[in-house]
Amino acid sequence: MLLVNLTNETILADHIEVASSFNKRLKGLIGRSSLNHGEALILLPCNSIHTFFMNFPIDILFIDKEMVVLQAIKNIRPFRFSPVIHRSHMVIELPAGRLAATGAGVGHHLQFIFKEAAS
């Protein structure tokens, strides 16, 4: 599955993991040494995150039910809380620097595309 920014026609991630249970959302990226280029973790449902006990910074996007970016935070470091974004339906965690590299930002429309359909 690909995560595509329809607004500026860029690919945000091509290797996506979904955390939709309470335990998977709570653990998130804890215990991992990095989030590699092309990877993303989707926390669903989610309207805030923490980076406690993580070993690396990340970029995060708060997304509403229509797949529109409500808030974008670059380079959030370990041992931090994000703000609570009340209309957020999901959070997308990306490697630090990915938002700057792709130009993703507030108001952009995103879409998930299955790789087979993209070929």
What does the pLDDT look like over 24-82, one tens digit per residue?
A: 998 889 889 999 999 999 999 999 999 999 999 999 999 999 999 999 999 999 999 99
The total number of structural domains that make up the chain:
1
pLDDT at 115 (0 to 100): 75
CATH number of the domain where residue 49 is located: 2.60.120.1140
Interacting residues of 100 by C-beta distance below 8 A, sequence separation 6+: 59, 74
Interacting residues of 21 by C-beta distance below 8 A, sequence separation 6+: none
pTM recorded for the entire structure = 0.92
The whole domain housing 109 covers 2-118
